[in-house]
A and B are shown apart, each in its own frame.
Chain A
Amino acid sequence: MADRPVPVVEKRLMDVKLGELGTWLGGRDFTPNGLISAVRRGHDRYYNKYINVKKGGIGGIAMLIVGYVAISYVWEYDHIKHDRWRKYH
């Protein structure tokens, strides 16, 4: 289906087969520049899809807030662990 053989590293995550995941991870750009550019790309994709539109909805920021709540719960888990009702699950 591909018109020319593409090196594994350049494929998107969803197109990488499970066996190629290791090589794909190994080949990605982990330099600070690479990380920052990856963060920027992700931000641009999210921003242009949910926020930078003519009639935005609640979904754009609601997803961010839900994500923030989830992350803060995960970071606080070691502290919240002590409020558990049962010792053995």
Chain B
Amino acid sequence: MLSRAVFLSANFLKGSAPLGAGLVHAPRSLHTSSQSLAPVPPLPEKPGKVRHGFVPEEFFQLLYPKTGVTGPYMFGTGLIIYLLSKEIYVINQETLAGISIGAIIIYAVKKFGPSVAAFADQLNEEKVAKVQEVKDLAMTNLAQAIENEKKEQWRVEGRSMLFDAKRNNVAMLLETNYRERQHMVTNEVKRRLDYQIALQHLNRRLEQEHMINWVEKSVISSITPQQEKESIAKCITDLKALAKSTQAKAVI
């Protein structure tokens, strides 16, 4: 709001005053607070408004309540007339040079301004597009990573079923092993018992045979020779009788 053309020199003596054009109606903050905005705000779209290329709009707004629309222009006219009449601004050859250069500059800006602006915008667009591409790529990658993560989580749920199946397997193995061992145990026990039975049988048979042999031997030894002759004679008579009976039977 401080018009640069007039106040700049005075302000420069006060080294601490801000050099920029200030805002009149914007919310004011004290000099002591300095906040740092954490998410960086986007760049403003348009710069502060400037009229006729070098007078900031705030100057016009400052004078509007008191003098209306023509106020600043009257102020400018009065200033120029004052500077010229008191020859604070001296007209010399530099004035002509300045006017010519000013005219050329104004013509160039009016003619080529929009195309230069479009070109600069296009450069900017390319930069932004490149960065946006990177950002989009990163976003898709992250989204993909999220998908993969969800899939992994789903798989983890299935993992418990896997463990159940494995547990079943192990249980079956254990069961099989247990049954095998039981089988073996019964077999072994049966074998041992069979052995004992066989042993007992063997013992009994041996005893029987031994007893029989002993009885026979004692009987045979008890048969005296006399008894032996008598028994042989009896056998012969018996045989003869038998022969006769069979002969008789055969004749009949």
Contacts and interface: CB of A to CB of B under 8 A. Distances in A.
A15 B171 CA distance: 87
Contact of B30 (A10, A38, A54, A67): A10
A81 B90 contact: yes
B53 A28 contact: no
Contacts of B9: 70-71, 74
A50 B57 CA distance: 12
B8 A67 contact: yes
Interface string B15-46: 11111111010001011100000000001111
A43 B28 CA distance: 18
Which label, helix, strand, loop or mixed, suits the secondary structure of the A interface?
Answer: helix
Given A55-B46, A57-B50, A86 B16 contact: no
Contacts of A34: 16
A14 interface: yes
Contacts of B45: 53-55
Interface string A41-75: 11101101111111111111011011101110110
Contact of B90 (A30, A55, A80): A80
Which label, helix, strand, loop or mixed, suits the secondary structure of the B interface?
Answer: loop
Q: Which of B17, B20, B86 has the most CB of A within 10 A?
A: B20
B46 A46 contact: no
Contacts of B48: 49-50, 59
B47 A38 contact: no
Chain A contact patch, size range: 35 or more
Nearest to B28: A12
Contacts of A49: 20-21, 47-48
A20 interface: no
Contact of A38 (B15, B24, B90): B15
A15 B20 CA distance: 16
B124 interface: yes
A71 B85 contact: no
B68 interface: no
Interface of B: 1, 4-5, 8-9, 12, 14-22, 24, 28, 30-32, 43-50, 53-54, 56, 85-92, 94, 98, 109, 113, 117, 121, 124
Interface of A: 6, 10-15, 25, 28-30, 34-35, 38-39, 41-43, 45-46, 48-60, 62-63, 65-67, 69-71, 73-74, 77, 80-81, 83-86, 89
